[in-house]
Amino acid sequence: MSSPSTGTGAGRFDMEVVDHQQGYGSGGGSSNPRRCAACKYLRRRCAPDCVLAPYFPASQPRRYADVHAVFGTSNATRVLQSLPVQERGRAADTMAAEARWRVQDPVYGCTGVIDRLQQEIRAVQHELARTRAQLAAMVVHAGAHGIAVQEEDEAPFMDPDEFLDLDGRL
């Protein structure tokens, strides 16, 4: 299993991804069958054909608890059963990520994450446009004072507001 993370200035959003190739259902020779996180959470015996077991391992109980709280067991099971086996892992990862974001931010969930990232992109684009405008002004100022300026094959600099088309949409 692995836990890739993305860090942003607005916060940190972790998404757990499960290795879906692990075997579940039997305890590997022990007398107690190994239960997945879903069956442990629901306090039931984990059947060998449990559709949730490959995607919600016992080592990640929070992953399933979030999915259960947001989607419910029957909906999660129905979604996974309705998909081809090769697509179930991605679906479980998506449900887990969306559920985690919804638990962290009950009002906006993953939409809040997307909105924060879009705001950050707009801020960085605006800063880039300002920097380009300042560089363009420096080149013009240097040329006016007889300082040789080496021109490059770049696109001309633009006004930051023109670059972003900022007509009050920010």
Q: Are residues 92 and 139 in the same domain?
A: no
| Whole-number pLDDT of residue 170 | 45
Regarding whether 45 and 122 lie in a shared domain, the answer is no
Q: What pLDDT is recorded for position 143?
A: 67
Task: Show the domain range for 152.
Answer: 114-164
Residue whose token pair is 């040789």: 148
* pLDDT computed for residue 159 by the predictor: 57
In this structure, the answer to whether residues 18 and 47 fall within a common structural domain is: yes
Q: How many structural domains compose the chain?
A: 2
85 lies in a domain?
yes
Beta bridge partners of 13: 6
Task: Give the pLDDT confidence score for residue 149 in this predicted structure.
Answer: 56
Answer yes or no: do 40 and 69 share one domain. yes
For position 119, what pLDDT does the model report?
Answer: 96
Q: How far apart are CA 124 and CA 121, in angstroms?
A: 5
Let me know: does 42 contact 34? Beta carbons within 8 Å. Answer: no
- Looking at the fold, whether 92 and 18 belong to one and the same domain comes out as yes
How far, in Å, are 9, 40, 48, 144 from residue 110 at the CA level? 17, 27, 33, 51
Alpha-carbon distance of 120 to 7, in angstroms, equals: 12
Q: Given 54, 77, 104, which residue is the final one in a domain?
A: 104
Judge whether 64 lies within some domain. yes
Residue 169 lies in a domain: no
Q: Over its length of 170 residues, how does the chain's per-residue pLDDT go in tens digits?
A: 444 444 444 444 455 556 555 444 443 433 335 789 999 999 999 998 999 999 999 999 999 999 999 999 999 999 999 999 999 999 999 999 999 999 999 999 889 989 999 999 999 999 999 999 998 888 877 766 666 655 555 555 555 555 555 555 54
